[in-house]
Structure formats: C-alpha cells, structure tokens
Amino acid sequence: MQRHPQILNRAHTALLVVDVQTRLTRAVRNGQAMVAEIVKLVRGFRILGLPVFVTEQYPKGLGHTEPGILEALGRRSAVVKATFSCCGAPGLVSDIRSRGIRQVLVSGTEAHVCVQQTALDLLSRDFQVQLAVDAVASRKELDYRTALDRMARSGVILTSVESALFELLEVSGTAEFKQVAALIK
C-alpha cells in the first residue's frame, strides 16, 4: 500500500529522547506527564524493535536520565553531550545514519533549547523530523509554544505519542498491536 511520506515508517524511523534528566524534569511544566509519555514511546519502540537514542546534557549538573526511561530502555546510560543540539554529540548522527534512519521522532527537554536546536539541525542534515508534542516540555509555556511554532514553520512535523505509535504499527490485530494498545490505555 502506498503511504503518505509524512507517515512514520518502521523501516527507517528512530526515536530520539533529548536530555530528560532528573533535575530538568523537576523544573519543566508537566515534567512527570512528559516522562510518562516518553516511557510509552520507548516501550512501543522496543516492542516494534526500533532504535532509541538517548542524550544527556551536562549530567554532573543536571542529573542523569529519568530512571523510568532507563528502565523502559532496559539498558545503559545515555550519550553525553556538551552542545545544546544533539547533532554535536560525538558519533550520534553517524550512528543514526548507519542504521538507514530517515525519520527521527524527537522528544525531551527543553523544547525551546536542546529539542529545537536538535530538530532544526536534523532537518539541515536531510532527516524528516517529527516532534511528539506531548513528550516535550519547557519551564515556561511561552517558550514551549514559541518553540513548537518555530519548529513547525521550519518543517518539523508535529504529532503525538499515540499518533506516532499507531502510524508505526500500521495495522491492527497483531501481537504488537495488542502490546502497544495496552501501553496507551
């Protein structure tokens, strides 16, 4: 079946979780709700066997990735970066490219700093970038809204956690569908 090019495709999609660290989560608006949505994404991507990349900005000062996210990942620590954009993290973009990824679903903090700079830099590297708006946060509502607007006007596709997961599933009635549907309830 022919699909619209903006629909996420399992064959070449990855999830990028940007700087969802303990001290940042406490500072942003709706931080725990954001973490819960990211955990759904991570678990959904694991069910579907899709790659998940996680970054941390200055963990010495901001803490490490939220424990619930690491637990959902079932693995190690994140890629540590000094640049606000994840594209400056050593080896991250080349790792994403080496897996044949063309669509990157972005989540994390803060919408107007690291998330926005990452999304724009990924666009400049010819990735299609989608942003799960319910899995992104900032400290101030104005910064969050301004960032969403700027990213959308720049070519980032706004979506939601549930929408993204169902696009990746494509069909109902499978074992994967049942597992992902249970996450969303």
Q: What is the residue extent of each domain of the chain?
A: 10-184
How far apart CA 42 and CA 124 sit, in angstroms, is 25
Long-range contacts, 162-169 (Cβ 8 Å, 24+): 164/8, 164/41, 164/105, 164/130, 164/132, 165/40, 165/41, 165/44, 167/7, 167/8, 168/8, 168/9, 168/10, 168/13, 168/44, 168/45, 168/48, 168/50, 169/48
Q: Which residue among the candidates 81, 86, 134, 143 is catalytic per the annotation?
A: 81
19 is catalytic: yes
In the residue annotation, 140 being an active-site residue is answered as: no
What CA–CA distance (Å, rounded) separates 78 from 60?
13
Which of 51-55, 76-80, 177-181 shows the lowest mean pLDDT across its residues?
Answer: 76-80
Per CATH, which fold does 10-184 belong to? Rossmann fold (3.40.50)
DSSP summary character for residue 113: I
User: Is residue 66 within a helix (H) or strand (E), and if so which, with residue range?
Assistant: none
One of 114, 121, 134, 143 is an active-site residue; which one? 114
Is 121 assigned a catalytic role?
A: no
Could you give the 3-state DSSP secondary structure of residue 135?
Answer: strand
Residue 124's identity, in one-letter code, is S
pLDDT-based confidence at residue 75 (cuts at 50, 70, 90) = confident
- Of 66, 81, 150, give the one whose Cα is nearest residue 112: 150
How much is the pLDDT for 88?
95
pTM score over 0.85: yes
The strand pair at 13-18 and 79-81 is best described as unpaired
pLDDT digits (tens, 9 = 90+) for 88-142: 999 999 999 999 999 999 999 999 999 999 999 999 999 999 999 999 999 999 9
Of 19, 121, 134, 143, catalytic = 19
